[in-house]
Amino acid sequence: MQQVMGPRFPLKEGETKEDIREYLFREMYRFNGQPTPLFMEEMAVEIQSRSREADPDEMFQAFLAVLNKKALARHENIRSEKFPPDDYVVYGGRAFIETLIGAGLKVIILSGNPHDQVNEEADLLDLSRYCGGHVYGHTHAENFSKQSIMEKLMDDEGFSGENLIAIGDGVAEIKAAKALGGLAVAICSDEDINGSGVIDENKLPILLDGGADCVIADYRKPDNLLNLLTGK
């Protein structure tokens, strides 16, 4: 995202490229979990306020080109068995999912990315089999709401907010879980070294401001983590 968006921002008086970089990090994490076209619309408004033309659709397509190139490389690494799928899952994630299922909890994947893309990734990472068909992305970005999907699942499955645990690195799912009476867990994993146990300080303040009840760096010690989240 930085390589696509950074060069498009003209500097205001007194600003530096580092200021733009930090601004984009904050905005990306604030929008994380929401459809990317909505982020592009807001960024286009900001760029236009700096007296430069900006087309959100063109920006989105430029971002998709970069994203798809990285995704294809990732997919090829998995298919060729150059890297195992768990290299692309937050540390301890699979063991934690299996611990949840072993305890009788149901697992869903809910992403702000396109529905087909999310399902393809979940299949490649061998995560779909844990979810019983509950892998969701957006089909129409302008009408997508994580809270609405959560509400429908709660109605369909017959459970209330006190039985909802949402774990994510986006403000959208944090706010949705809180609005529905659930537990909102911020996953602030290290983007550079998976499994370092270090909390990403860029994500942390944004997710706390969004209402996160607690913060974790990854999914190490899954039994302890489950007990903590369920109050045992």
Question: pLDDT digits over 81-118, tens only?
Answer: 999 999 999 999 999 999 999 999 999 999 988 889 89
The Cα 87–Cα 76 span in angstroms is 13
Lowest mean pLDDT among 28-37, 69-78, 180-189, 214-223: 28-37
- Is the pLDDT confidence value at 141 over 80? no
Q: Do 38 and 60 reside in the same domain of the chain?
A: yes
Indicate the residue type of 209.
D
What pLDDT sits at residue 20? 92
Q: Do 171 and 225 reside in the same domain of the chain?
A: yes
Radius of gyration of the chain (CA): 18
Q: Do 47 and 133 reside in the same domain of the chain?
A: no
The Cα 40–Cα 110 span in angstroms is 21
- The percent of residues in the chain predicted with pLDDT above 70, rounded, is 99
What pLDDT sits at residue 112? 83
- Is the pLDDT confidence value at 188 over 80? yes
Which structural domain, as residue segments, surrounds residue 132? 86-230
Q: Do 161 and 207 reside in the same domain of the chain?
A: yes
Q: Do 91 and 178 reside in the same domain of the chain?
A: yes
Is beta strand 214-216 parallel, antiparallel or unpaired with respect to 183-187?
A: parallel
Indicate the residue type of 222.
P
Q: Do 99 and 174 reside in the same domain of the chain?
A: yes
Tokens of 56: 């959100």
Tokens of 54: 């900006």
What pLDDT sits at residue 191? 87
Domain count, the chain: 2
